[in-house]
Amino acid sequence: MPNRSTDSLFQLVKSLEKGEKRNFKLYIKRKSAGEDLKSILLFDALDKMSIYDEAQLLKNKSIKKQQLSNMKAQLYRQILSSLRTIKDEDNIDMQLHEQMDYARILFNKGLYYQSLKVLDRMKEMAKEHNQLTYLQQVLFFEKKIEGLFITRSMQDRADHLANEADEVNTGISIVNKLSNLSLRLYSWYITNGHARNTKDEKAVKAFLENNLNEDAKNAKGFYEKLYLYQSYCWYAFIRQDFLQYYRYTQKWVDLFDEQPKMIDVETAHYIKGMHNLMGAHFDLRNHTKLEETIQQFEKFSHHKIVEQNENNRILIFIYLTTAKINKHFIEGSFTEGLKLVPHIEENLKEYEIFLDRHRVLIFYYKIACLYFGAGNNEKAIDYLNKIINWKMDLRTDLQCYARLLHLIAHYELGNFDLLEYLIKSVYRFMAKMENLSAVEEEMFKFLRRSFHVGAKSLKPEFQKLLDKLKKYEGNPLETRAFSYLDVISWLESKVHNENVQDVIARKFKGSKRGMAK
């Protein structure tokens, strides 16, 4: 499990680029107060650390324990202030903030007409970039000026401003409802994984329908459409309706293609959309489209807006690497995929204080699958142990399949003495899970039988399990089980005395020949 510092100041210091660090020191030295120079000492001490260590900080004689809390709070504010001095010409939020500041300055000077002219420019910029909240601020300020002073700037000004404000407020209300819906559906997935049965499906469907009125369904604006498509995307993904999932992820990405300026404004949403599009191609086993989208995404990764933004670089690393691993899963090229592992490990270490634990868990599981598919069960077990020993509430389904793969890897190694214990351990864990899918139920029954059969006689039981599981391959509610753990291919590898990756590679080549015909 990685060391994860929760110290806010340490995280902020570690997020700074070289140029930002240089700018901070110049900013502090311009102020040249004695206390500010102490801030540089604290800054340098934090910058040199790989892990936050307060005891190490206090070894510096200039940093007193009773002063540390105040020094850290002051340094945090100073870093943020220094970052504000670095002007980002491409950041629409900063541009709009700047324009609003100018309008307020002119208003306070009594230059009402000039203030209104700035607000007009700001309004056009906000409309062009779909920034409804800034548009709301402009209209509020315009109404304030018109209500306090007679500007005669336009006939029927009051009615026009009132109508504009009503329209913007309606748009914001719809965006708020749809963004709430999207977030809650995504949260449902992060907590529970895919729908396990018809009860889960009905619950998610009812939740979607209860939160979608006609205004929301007929979304017109950019953000209305964005959150509507996201909501349908998560809804379809939870239900494992991968065709609908693909359709709405494509709509999500197409929205940015229709309004390219919004890629710069909402880069993270665009990156997330591309990630889900690649995920949809993987779930549908559309290898050609997955390759094309990976190439498109890799080209985008060299864009200035990615290279000059730490958050965007981290997201690109996560999603591009995930897509490349998935491509190897489809092809059965697990050994080739292992070449990605050093790059993944290096970046997990570099970005560990910024990555959420859910994402790290997924990487561990995918790396374990690569090693398992390549026949290196010892290394697979190492990564599976990272998941099993990491105590957290997220993704009980992932925890379940990590344990099952862990069990199978030990079986492959012939660790029969340990296997007896592992079977009981996995049995107990799965018994705590509610609403098991049919595939999980069959695995559950298999484990129960294994208590009486004995570890050395498990091979015939795996054959029986293969026969039963094949019946569920086309069942939509069972897709989750096969996507997390390709137990069918593993069982087939035992029947045909082949490596797992050779079985999957043969299936992949067969599917390509079938498509060619």
- DSSP letter for 153, please: -
Report whether pLDDT(481) > 80.
Answer: no
CB count within 10 Å of CB 19 equals 10
Q: Please give the pLDDT value at position 135.
A: 93
Which residues are CB-neighbours of 151 under 8 A, at least 6 positions away? Answer: 112, 113, 116, 145, 157
* Residue ranges of domains in the chain, CATH in brackets: 8-84 (no CATH), 349-517 (1.25.40)
Cα 415 to Cα 55, 374, 402, 454, 456, distances in angstroms: 44, 19, 17, 13, 10
Q: What is the pLDDT of residues 123-149, one digit of tens each?
A: 999 999 999 999 999 999 998 888 777
User: To the nearest whole number, what is the mean pLDDT of the chain?
Assistant: 85
Q: What is the pLDDT of residues 195-218, one digit of tens each?
A: 777 888 888 998 888 888 777 777
Q: What is the pLDDT of residues 28-72, one digit of tens each?
A: 877 665 556 778 888 898 998 888 888 888 887 778 888 888 889
- DSSP letter for 389, please: T
Average pLDDT over residues 91-107: 90
> Which residue, among 244, 320, 235, has the nearest Cα to 280 in the 3D structure?
244
d(CA 516, CA 9): 57
In the numeric block, the tokens 């950041």 are attached to: 91
Report whether pLDDT(325) > 70.
Answer: yes
CB count within 10 Å of CB 504 equals 25
User: 517: helix, coil or strand?
Assistant: coil
pLDDT band at 282; cut points 50, 70, 90 = very high
Structure tokens at 510: 């067969």
Q: Please give the pLDDT value at position 119.
A: 94
Q: What is the pLDDT of residues 327-353, one digit of tens each?
A: 999 999 999 999 999 999 999 988 888
Which of these ranges, 69-83, 246-260, 378-392, 494-508, has the smallest mean pLDDT? 494-508
Contact 235, 144 (CB under 8 A): no
Q: Please give the pLDDT value at position 236.
A: 93
d(CA 15, CA 76): 12
Global pTM value: 0.81
Q: What percent of the chain has pLDDT over 90?
A: 38
Half-sphere exposure of 95 (CA within 13 A, CB side): 15
